[in-house]
Amino acid sequence: MMTEYLNSNNFPASSPDKADTLAAELEFLLKNDFTGDMYALLAGYQRILADNRKRGQWPEVHQKLETLFKCGKYATLDGPMIGIPVSIRDTDYFKDTVQQFGGERLKIASIEWMASVWNMTFADTGLWMGKTFEPVTRDVVAEKTGDDKEMLDIYDQQITRIGRNYFREPANPDLIQGLGLPVLNPLWNLAPRPLSAEEKIFDTQLLEKNLAKEKNIPYSMTGGIFLANSGRSFVPEMHSKEVFQLNYRWPKLNPVYPMTRLVDELVQVDEGIYLGQLVFASRHYSLGSLRLPFCPDLPPIPVGEQYASRHDTPMDFFFKLFSADREVDYGYQNNGYFLMMDPDRAERVYADSAFPQLRPRRGESGYRELGYDKVEAVPKEKTGLGALSEQWRDVGDWIGGWKGNDTLREKFTTFILEDSPLETDTGDVLEMLRDGESILQMLQRISHEVSASTAKDDRLRHFDKFHRLFRRGVAPCVENGLFQGHGKKGYNCRVDGKEERDWYGEKDVARGLDYYHGANLNLHLGFSDTFCPNRDEKFDNSELFPGALASFLADKDFRGPNVLDMAWHSIGKYIFPWSGKTFEKISGRKLSMFLDESSDLAERYPERVNELKNCLASAPHYSLVKKASRNYWKKPGRYGDHLRNGPWDKGMSDEDKAFWEKEAREHWVDGNNTQDERIIAADPLFRVIDMNYRVPDPAIQAVSQAGPSPFARQGYIFLGVDDRDSILPMNHGRDKKKKVFQFHYRYPMVGGPVPIGFCLDELVEIADGLFLGQLIYSTALNVPYHSSVDEAKYKYQLFGYFVLLDDTWQYHRKAIKLDLWRE
């Protein structure tokens, strides 16, 4: 089965066997994937390659695109084209070496960092919207190529083109996306979209017919110049393939890295559809140039090697001295694919079955021309917040629309409170809630107030409203091993896993898992409360600090800015992919191991201790194991009496096993922090630094995927325990202590990367499905953890507040944009 444009004969295979193999690959692809719509076929491939969760399918799809490219028909492109990136691949700088040993790609390259990062940022934003191919004179080609003989010999007025790229502002860009055009504008010397054929731009010859076709393409800036002509592919595996070649590398085109390495190649695969491959040089390329700031009149200093087509370069002199090869080996490789599509077929390009993400938006070119102003596209979801529960289908506006729903109005405005243990908490926290706002909107408003107050004065007194609210909140509990809140339902979801996990020789599945979304409110540099507890006190110049610094700090008017909070809100929340927490049942066996602080841990749990030893990031936990083996602590741990006879599998009595089963059933849960899709780009790194990092069970992922904000990974494990006295004195009264739910990361067998081993968070519930948490760290970093040690020695300090939210609150949170990384 072949088509007018796709035929295995379009690729000159090196042997009959390879020709037959290619024909069979194309036949299989067209029979199994192609349903008569090439746009839909390629859009399906693009969606897989733009989804980091489908990484396992990427090699197969790349192979199919290679088949299509090889079988594509040579064609000359002329005029404007709508474009979309299909995939981006990492350069494999050691590809030749790997192939000598029978491999395809180096493992580091196969991680596809570039693809992962691109998918997280710009993949479907329409930042790049295509190219145009304009007539160019022979004189311009000569000037741009430095009179390159080969280019001038193949110059053809009907084929040779000079081109430029189209760029567009992404819709509702987040911080990273918002930097796209502002960064590219000066870096690539972009120019505004030309509106008339009289405009002079990049030595191109603007034609009225091309400007008319451009009207179907929404873009605002243009640049990134290339010269295009027919040629043979630069990719070694395709050297004999005839392609339409776009070369950005000529120095006088003023390319900026990485365009100094880039050559695009195109073939036609259907009527009005052209498949392109990105081809990057892996050797002999320029990194740009430097100007000396103190010598502005000197010419820029080149960094790397200027492109010189097939001419000799100084770096190749010795190689060529002993070789008859006169051609520079640039080490070209395929680095991904893209599409070019005729704007005369824009309705098919922008169809729901193809690439609706490229569709012109209101106010953009093409919106009226293509009739989108007359037939508004109806969004699949009213809110754009993901799959909504059937219960909330009538809520069209999650910012304020909840007020019209009796159930939501009660949930969003009703506190869950108990009396504060602190006698001085006289103000009623109910008065914090203003008319017409939800409790979450109240927290957001207070958070803004705290940020403003601590910008120049990072003192805990500015967090007073959060303090009082936390002391009035009610600690969640554990019932039959399940995390349980105090709302009407008391949980967000309850799901059992299906995938068996091995825990120290026993296979089990996740049981009773519940998850909550997470958001930070405000952070505080808790170390200052340890090292400088009272900033109004005068310092003794002889203590700790040099005299001048002590004098400066002693000034009672001195106020340090809240750098931690400012860093989080300006940068941190866009980078760190924490998305919430999960809670599930824990067995008595597993709990007993995690809470074990015995002196013979290496003998009791050799595999686990070996994991700690080999995970460099878990060094603080492994240090506790070694200290225990040397009897560093003279007293047994808090649970030492129930571990004295040995671990669960070797010596533990039935009475002690019953104790651990009861503890697990009544007080403890197995906890994980969750990370959103941003973590996938750093997957290999986190597998190294977090020994507990993992992909969630498919059944759990399915439940998460159906909610408003799916999570992609679990890690940074902890033990959750109820009915505990807060470790912060600020939460207690003179005669009454505050009960909280605690997250324990510090026990040696838990493991996890620094600084999580110094953390011990606390949680209370303040409304149905809405929890307020205190982020707490030990500031006595030199005091190793052991449960027999007085907690005061660890100098625990408050480092900020966070919230956990069920799915319903999360819909509201996304609408009001509380601590979102996509805003």
SS3 labels along 582-639: EEECCCHHHHHHHCCCCCCHHHHCHHHHHHHHHCHHHHHHHHHHHHHHCCCCCCCCCC
CA atoms within 13 A on the CB side of 731: 26
- C-alpha 533 chain-centroid distance: 38
Asked if residue 380 has pLDDT above 50, the reply is: no
Quick one: pLDDT band at residue 117, thresholds 50, 70, 90? Answer: low
- Map residue 503 onto helix, strand or coil: strand
Q: What is the pLDDT of residues 204-246, one digit of tens each?
A: 889 999 999 999 999 999 999 999 999 999 998 888 899 999 9
> What pLDDT is stored for residue 121 in this prediction?
61
Q: What is the pLDDT of residues 425-463, one digit of tens each?
A: 878 889 999 999 999 999 999 999 999 998 888 888 899
Asked if residue 488 has pLDDT above 80, the reply is: yes
> What pLDDT is stored for residue 114 in this prediction?
67
> What pLDDT is stored for residue 391 in this prediction?
65
Q: Specify the higher pLDDT residue, 291 or 465.
A: 465
Asked if residue 308 has pLDDT above 90, the reply is: no
Percentage with pLDDT > 90 across the chain: 59
Percentage with pLDDT > 70 across the chain: 86
Q: What is the pLDDT of residues 561-582, one digit of tens each?
A: 888 888 887 777 777 899 999 9
**d(Cα 604, Cα 549) in Å, to the nearest integer?**
51
Asked if residue 400 has pLDDT above 50, the reply is: yes
> What pLDDT is stored for residue 517 in this prediction?
96
**d(Cα 256, Cα 165) in Å, to the nearest integer?**
14
> What pLDDT is stored for residue 554 in this prediction?
41
Quick one: pLDDT band at residue 378, thresholds 50, 70, 90? Answer: very low
Q: What is the overall mean pLDDT for the chain?
A: 86
Q: Specify the higher pLDDT residue, 629 or 299.
A: 629
Asked if residue 316 has pLDDT above 90, the reply is: no
**d(Cα 99, Cα 105) in Å, to the nearest integer?**
7
Angle at 90 between CA 84 and CA 94, to 5 degrees: 150
Which DSSP symbol is given to 84? E
Q: What is the pLDDT of residues 172-212, one digit of tens each?
A: 766 666 667 787 888 778 999 998 888 888 888 899 999 99
Which DSSP symbol is given to 48? H
**Average pLDDT of 483-491?**
95
> What pLDDT is stored for residue 324 in this prediction?
43
**d(Cα 253, Cα 136) in Å, to the nearest integer?**
13
The per-residue DSSP string of 337-377 comes to EEEEE-GGGHHHHTSTTS-GGGSPPTTSTTTTTTTTTTSPP
Asked if residue 326 has pLDDT above 70, the reply is: no
Asked if residue 315 has pLDDT above 80, the reply is: no
Q: Considering only 319-323, 528-532, 670-674, 733-737, which range has the smallest mean pLDDT?
A: 319-323
**Average pLDDT of 333-344?**
94
Asked if residue 132 has pLDDT above 50, the reply is: yes
Q: What is the pLDDT of residues 578-607, one digit of tens each?
A: 999 999 999 999 999 999 999 999 999 999
> What pLDDT is stored for residue 134 in this prediction?
95
**Average pLDDT of 531-536?**
58
Q: Specify the higher pLDDT residue, 426 or 787.
A: 787
Asked if residue 309 has pLDDT above 60, the reply is: yes
Phi-psi region of 268 (alpha: psi -120 to 50; beta: other; left: phi over 0): beta
Quick one: pLDDT band at residue 88, thresholds 50, 70, 90? Answer: confident
Asked if residue 551 has pLDDT above 50, the reply is: no
